[in-house]
């Protein structure tokens, strides 16, 4: 599973939900405000994607966040806000297994192209 977000994490680091990490930055809010798919709305869980490109787009919206392969810390539950079965999952926290891309540069694509990536995956 993949997670895109805060840059600079390394294998073994925890990915905590906003309620525990204290971050005010919620990528799902930014994406929804720009017309992207509305999922990943809770702040008490971590979201993981089975599609690498979806997580990559979320990493870019950080901005310039990291893309990680993540092991869920417990069994995962489907994201009830995601309309594509099996795409988005939630769990209490995750553990970085590997850094897939340390910096996903937002400026490499227009915001509209990043959103198209998310919308395409969310409409399968």
pLDDT tens-digit profile of 34-65? Answer: 666 555 667 788 999 998 988 988 888 777 79
pTM passes above 0.85: no
Nearest 5°: the CA angle 75, 12, 30 is 70
For the chain, list residues with pLDDT below 70.
24-32, 34-41, 108, 110, 118-124
Cα torsion for 23, 47, 111, 10, to the nearest 10°? 70
Retrieve residue 94's tokens.
Answer: 């995750």
Burial category of 113 from C-beta neighbours within 10 Å (exposed 0-12, middle 13-18, buried 19 and up): exposed
Q: By C-alpha distance, which of 61, 75, 53 is closest to 28?
A: 61
């Amino acid at each position: 599973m993949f997670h895109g977000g805060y840059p600079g994490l390394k294998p073994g680091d925890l990915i905590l939900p906003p309620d525990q990490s204290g971050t005010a930055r919620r990528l799902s809010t930014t994406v929804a405000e720009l017309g992207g798919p509305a999922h990943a709305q809770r702040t008490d869980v971590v979201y993981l994607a089975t599609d690498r490109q979806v997580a990559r787009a979320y990493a870019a919206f950080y901005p310039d966040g990291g893309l990680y392969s993540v092991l869920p810390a417990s069994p995962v539950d489907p994201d009830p806000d995601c309309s594509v079965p099996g795409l988005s999952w939630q769990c209490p926290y995750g553990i970085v297994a590997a850094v897939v891309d340390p910096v996903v540069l937002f400026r490499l694509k227009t915001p509209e192209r990043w959103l198209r990536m998310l919308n395409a995956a969310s409409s399968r």
